[in-house]
Amino acid sequence: MRIFGIESSCDETACAVVDNGIKHVCSVIATSKDFHEKTGGIVPEIAARKQVEFIVPVIEQTLKELMEKESLPSMEDAIDSIDAIGVTVGPGLIGSLLVGIEAAKTLSYLWDKPLIPVNHLVGHLYANFVDAEKEVLFPAIGLLVSGGHTDLVLIKDHGNFEYLGGTLDDAAGEAFDKTARLLGLSKYLGAVLLSKSASLCTDNTLIGKLPRPMIDQDNFNFSFSGLKTAVKRLIDTSSFPVDVISCEFQEAVVAVLVSKTLNALEKYEVKTLLLGGGVSANALLRSRLTQECSNRDISLHIPPLSLCTDNAVYIASAAFFNPVEKDISEIEVNPSLGIMDRF
């Protein structure tokens, strides 16, 4: 079954074609990130306008890539080869989401193909199913770490999740970005620069000095906003270089994420771990989890870097494995959808 995926939840406009939820055929992404960098934060109105500007060219380009890839003679042949459309319905910015959903509804009507609503957060975890080196075996623990969410779930099967815990305040990605801003590294999405700065650090005098929030609590919740405040205090009262603070901040976030995840694997006696969301691009998180999982004989699934941040490949995959049957008139945007919310 071939699915055409559409993702427009924030500042990326993306379409992709995936076969049977596992084979990546083609993918196109346009982003308005540069505009938000200029203003030092996302402006929802601009993000939505850029979605409107990008959506048709991205759809067209994806169909062209499909034609080329499969040597199809016309765009009609490319469209004929598609069985269904999957679209992100939330969470995200309402204006951005609406552009993708209305485009998807129009295509569903025009092409006469079913439309499958997808939860963006669940979608992130499906990046692990595409062109995977090894099969994902359930039950699994899912750690979703994105810009707006940090959630731990027990995945019993496709569409069968149990919520274990999540952040009580800032998401992991948000904490990285806000701390990067405090450190003067970048005003918008500075996590990557913060990690780069941390990798330059050769001085470990600060290691262990920042709090590891909630690490010893017997639950699966997180809290990252205090950590950011502790960094602020450090900046105001000490003269540690940026790379030294970056390194200790990253150590603290990763320590908490890894510790809680290992506790969940142990408590639920689960042997599979799925990582997902933009923060799964973080090299320290990837290497710590790889090390800890190999020590415990846990099958770890980490998306390739190209599938960590927002794209439509995992949306198409999630649509295949979670085929919700709904009439297009019943498919609605939900900006505040949580990881456990269904349609």
> Binding residues for ligand KG4, per CB under 6 A?
124, 146-148, 173-174, 176-177, 189, 191-192, 195, 277-279, 281-282, 309-310
Among 27, 108, 146, 317, binds Zn ion (CB under 5 A): 146
Taking the least distance from each CB to ligand KG4, the nearer of 234 and 279 is: 279
Count of residues in the chain: 343
In the chain, the N- to C-terminal Cα span, in Å, equals: 22
Which run of H or E residues covers position 67? helix 44-69
**DSSP class of 167:** B
Q: Which amino acid is at 315?
A: I
Span interacting with Zn ion, options 109-117, 234-242, 291-299, 307-315, rule CB under 5 A: 307-315
Q: Which does 132 bind (CB under 5 to 8 A by kind): ligand KG4, Zn ion, none?
A: none
Asked if 96 interacts with Zn ion (CB under 5 A), we say no
> CA 74 to CA 96: how far, in whole Å?
30
Which is nearer to ligand KG4, 84 or 98 (by Cβ)?
Answer: 98
Q: CB under 5 to 8 A by kind: which of ligand KG4, Zn ion, none does 272 bind? A: none
Determine contact, residues 124/151, Cβ cutoff 8 Å: no
Interatomic CA distance for residues 177 and 190, integer angstroms: 5
Q: Is 11 in the site for Zn ion (CB under 5 A)?
A: no
Cβ-based nearer residue to Zn ion, 126 or 240: 126
The bridge status of strand 2-7 relative to strand 84-90 is: parallel
Min CB(218)–ligand KG4 separation in Å: 27
**Least distance in angstroms from the C-beta of 126 to Zn ion:** 12
Backbone angles phi, psi at 271, to 5 degrees: -110, 5
**Rounded to whole angstroms, how far apart are CA atoms 109 and 112?**
5
Shortest gap between Cβ of 309 and ligand KG4 (angstroms)? 4
Residue 284 beta carbon to ligand KG4: minimum distance, rounded to whole angstroms: 8
